[in-house]
Amino acid sequence: MAKLAFLGLGQMGTPMATRLLRAGHDLSVWNRTSAKLGPLVDLGASAADTPVEAIAGAEVVITMLATPAALEEVLFDGGVVAALTPGQLLIDMSTVGPDEVRSIAQRLPSGVNVVDAPVRGSVPEATAGTLAIYVGATDTEFEQVEPILAPLGTPHHVGGPGAGAAMKVVINLTLGVAMTAVGEALALGDALGLERSTLLDILTESPIGGTVRIKRPNVESGNYPANFKLRHALKDLRLVTSVGADRDLRLAAATRSWLEQAAADGAADLDFSAVVATILAAADRQEGPNP
């Protein structure tokens, strides 16, 4: 078992760190809000007052933070990079895009490498250890990190450094488009006079069926408890349109626009499926065609 440091105990970080502890690793944890450390300490983790304290003596440092700005603050303003020593490995599991990963790699001390390993899945998958993990690393580094990441889900070696972050951006484009497609499909179905429950039944057999099955309870109840906050989905679509700025990504732009509207409507801290409610509300404000 390895000596690990885990920085960032948000909705995803806490269940992930818990699984690493239960796999038998020696784990030091840090979070900006120290109250979140308690349950992990009860399971055997060591609590650190600062990120620098957390990484002392760790073989591998894992970061799971919400935004590129938060990652920059912890790594550089928080002194983590300056405190890293040759032989330590940084695994960033945040969704920050390939440009940020490459920028971090260029600023690490000699002898310290970064592996990018963002994940697909939300709180239920993090809790169950069924995340899909997209790893950008050399062959040697992947062999080193695969057994560490295995308790969290299935590590996929998708290419060299930066490839994991790039793959996650692509995947998040498809997730966002699928979710907004559900909203627009329901809006069109309403305009054409289709019964909502029947339409949802049929959509589960369509190319967006997986999204419909998972998020149907939210849509039907009108309640959107956050497994994946809409603000994070919006951040991801902004990453998509940023890194793909030299490509004509019209669906990405439309999806980002819907998410921005939903956030402006007050849904930022709800599940990202709340964008469906925004789309349906916008449709209700328009005069639809006669069915």
DSSP letters spanning 67-122: SHHHHHIIIIITSHHHH--TT-EEEE-S---HHHHHHHHHTSPTT-EEEE--EE--
Rounded to whole angstroms, how far apart are CA atoms 32 and 230?
21
Alpha-carbon span 168 to 164, nearest angstrom: 6
Q: What is the pLDDT of residue 269?
A: 97
Q: Which fold has domain 3-160?
A: Rossmann fold (3.40.50)
Q: What pLDDT does 286 receive?
A: 83
The structural domains of the chain, with segments of one domain joined by +, span 3-160, 167-284
- Say what the pLDDT of residue 291 is: 47
Q: Are 90 and 64 in contact (CB under 8 A)?
A: no
Mention every residue, 6+ apart, whose C-beta is less than 8 A from residue 165. 92, 95, 96, 97, 98, 100, 101, 116, 118, 134, 136
Tell me the C-alpha distance between 196 and 209, whole Å. Answer: 15
Tell me the residue length of the chain: 291
Question: Which SS3 state, helix, strand or coil, does residue 51 take?
Answer: helix
Asked whether the beta carbons of 141 and 113 are under 8 A apart, the reply is: yes
Provide the β-strand partners of residue 154.
132
The phi, psi pair for 28, rounded to 5°, reads -110, 135
DSSP H or E stretch at residue 254? helix 250-262
DSSP type of residue 234: H
**Whether 91 contacts 55, CB under 8 Å:** no
In order of 5, 99, 107, the CA distances from 166 in angstroms are 24, 9, 19
* Cut 0.85: pTM above it: yes
Written as six digits, the tokens of 17 are 């760190």
Per-residue pLDDT 10s for the chain (291 aa) are 899 999 999 999 999 999 999 999 999 999 999 889 999 999 999 999 999 999 999 999 999 999 999 999 999 999 999 999 999 999 999 999 999 999 999 999 999 999 999 999 999 999 999 999 999 999 999 999 999 999 999 999 999 999 999 999 999 999 999 999 999 999 999 999 999 999 999 999 999 999 999 999 999 999 999 999 999 999 999 999 999 999 999 999 999 999 999 999 999 999 999 999 999 999 998 855 554
Q: Which fold has domain 167-284?
A: N-(1-d-carboxylethyl)-l-norvaline Dehydrogenase; domain 2 (1.10.1040)
CA dihedral sign of residues 17, 21, 27, 32: positive
Nearest to 272 by CA among 57, 93, 122, 150: 122
**Both tokens of residue 236?**
């991801």
C-alpha–C-alpha distance, residues 261 and 268, integer Å: 10
Residues identified as active-site:
168
Residue 1 has a pLDDT of 83
